[in-house]
């Protein structure tokens, strides 16, 4: 299928083959080492030391992280990655630049490594990402720019890319971020006409991408993923545009299953957890699943190595924003996974992208859990067990 046609297939099936996997670890694990700890409730009180994945499993939530090869190859990192998280996303390993560095020459090593790690640790996988303007191979962007790749050839290349990658991992990917970051940061928002794909192929690229992904793996849940669509922008213009567009896709029979809200926050900006909740609820109101896909909270730090916040208030804002993000998510039953974009500050993308900022993860540069970790753990414990009833201290007289 080259051009958009009436899409016969309905929304993709709700359950991937891997969904039968258990959500929790086989034994509770210590926060840092992943070693077995004493487990279970403490005389009826929630066990606040349980791993995040185990607490999340109590309410059917998958708690995830992005992983890069270093997280898997470094034993101390891998222990955290396996013990704390029940769904993993390749930070880079499934992007086109990585998997097809030369035309027709594939390198699946990083993607395979992650999928195998996930299987070994009873984790599900979020595939990320099939169609994005960034991290494309040079041969592709250069070929489009100089005209050596025609429009017709580009359609074929995209179709082949999606089909090849999704087919390779058929049955092993729970959720795919099919299309990533297509909307303008503007009021009003809308599809960015200067986006590489929109400029080259027009807006039909999105429904076609979903359809091709669905044909290659009918059981994978197919997501549209973006940032600033969950309470970051007071006008909510980008969220409005994504909501309207998702509604249109569904009306056209496009097999989209969910909206991914990335959740990259920065303590220097305003952000509304109430608006996040409203946005999640309205996406879910369309019949879609929702997910927090790339949560982190950055702030200004002393240097990129130590990443000590320069403002003491950031020490409070950081766990607060993580906690509020999770609690907003927990109120929405259609929210099926909450993923942090890497767990440790030592391999965060933030210092390399935002000069002077860091401290974005839930573990510090030495892999010690931060206040944000404990906030999330408490929130999950309360959600998992239900907040205990208050003990009775005073009975008013009638």
Residues labelled catalytic? 181, 294
Is 294 a binding residue for ligand G3I by CB under 6 A? The answer is yes
Cα separation of 365 and 343, whole Å? 10
Cα separation of 171 and 191, whole Å? 31
Instruction: Tell me which residue has tokens 């920065």.
Output: 266
Is 92 a binding residue for ligand G3I by CB under 6 A? The answer is yes
User: What's the start-to-end Cα distance of the chain, in Å?
Assistant: 74
Task: Find the shortest distance in angstroms from Cβ 226 to ligand G3I.
Answer: 9
Is 345 a binding residue for ligand G3I by CB under 6 A? The answer is no
Is 135 a binding residue for ligand G3I by CB under 6 A? The answer is yes
Is 349 a binding residue for ligand G3I by CB under 6 A? The answer is yes
Phi and psi at residue 266, to the nearest 5°? -140, 125
Task: Find the shortest distance in angstroms from Cβ 296 to ligand G3I.
Answer: 9
Is 109 a binding residue for ligand G3I by CB under 6 A? The answer is no
Which residues between 251 and 290 bind ligand G3I (CB under 6 A)? 262
- Which residue in the set 46, 91, 137, 273 belongs to the binding site for ligand G3I (CB under 6 A)? 91
Task: Find the shortest distance in angstroms from Cβ 180 to ligand G3I.
Answer: 6
Cα separation of 111 and 91, whole Å? 10
Report the residue number whose CB is nearest to ligand G3I.
349
Instruction: State the DSSP string of 99-129.
Output: H-SBTTB---HHHHHHHHHHHHTT-EEEEEE
Which residues between 168 and 207 bind ligand G3I (CB under 6 A)? 180
Phi and psi at residue 183, to the nearest 5°? -105, 150
Task: Find the shortest distance in angstroms from Cβ 298 to ligand G3I.
Answer: 11
Task: Find the shortest distance in angstroms from Cβ 135 to ligand G3I.
Answer: 5
Is 134 a binding residue for ligand G3I by CB under 6 A? The answer is yes
Cα separation of 214 and 204, whole Å? 16
Token pair listed for 246:
């998702």
CB 86 within 8 A of CB 124: yes
How many residues bind ligand G3I (CB under 6 A)? The answer is: 8
Q: Which residues bind ligand G3I (CB under 6 A)?
A: 91-92, 134-135, 180, 262, 294, 349
């Amino acid at each position: 299928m080259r051009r958009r046609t009436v899409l016969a297939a309905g929304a993709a099936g709700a359950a991937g083959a891997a969904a039968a996997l258990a959500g929790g670890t086989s034994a509770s694990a210590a926060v840092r080492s992943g070693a077995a700890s004493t487990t279970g409730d403490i005389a009826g009180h929630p066990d606040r030391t349980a791993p995040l994945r185990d607490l999340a499993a109590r309410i059917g939530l998958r708690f995830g992280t992005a992983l890069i090869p270093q997280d898997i190859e470094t034993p101390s990192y891998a222990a955290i990655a396996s013990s704390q998280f029940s769904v993993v996303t390749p930070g880079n390993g499934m992007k086109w630049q990585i998997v097809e560095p030369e035309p027709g020459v594939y390198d699946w090593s990083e993607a395979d490594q992650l999928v195998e790690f996930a299987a070994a640790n009873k984790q599900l996988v979020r595939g990320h990402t099939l169609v994005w303007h960034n991290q494309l191979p040079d041969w592709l962007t250069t070929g489009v720019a100089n005209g050596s790749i025609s429009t017709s050839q580009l359609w074929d290349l995209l179709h082949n890319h999606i089909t090849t990658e999704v087919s390779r991992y058929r049955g092993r990917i729970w959720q795919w971020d099919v299309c990533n970051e297509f909307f303008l940061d503007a009021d009003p928002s809308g599809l960015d006409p200067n986006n590489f794909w929109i400029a080259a192929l027009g807006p039909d690229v999105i429904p076609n991408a979903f359809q091709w992904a669905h044909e290659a793996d009918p059981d994978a849940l197919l997501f549209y993923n973006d940032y600033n669509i969950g309470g970051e922008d007071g006008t909510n213009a980008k969220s409005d545009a994504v909501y309207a567009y998702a509604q249109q896709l569904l009306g056209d029979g496009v097999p989209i299953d969910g909206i991914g809200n990335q959740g990259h926050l920065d303590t220097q900006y305003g952000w509304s957890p109430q608006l996040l909740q409203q946005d999640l609820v309205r996406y879910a109101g369309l019949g879609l699943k929702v997910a927090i896909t790339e949560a982190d909270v950055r702030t200004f730090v002393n240097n990129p190595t130590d990443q000590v916040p320069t403002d003491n208030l950031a020490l409070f804002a950081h766990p607060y924003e993580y906690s509020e993000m999770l609690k907003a998510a927990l109120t929405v039953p259609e929210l099926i996974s909450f993923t942090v974009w890497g767990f440790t500050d030592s391999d965060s993308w933030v210092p390399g992208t935002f000069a002077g900022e860091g401290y974005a993860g839930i573990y510090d540069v030495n892999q010690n859990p931060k206040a944000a970790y404990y906030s999330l753990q408490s929130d999950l414990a309360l959600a998992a067990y239900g907040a205990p009833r208050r003990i009775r201290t005073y009975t008013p007289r009638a």
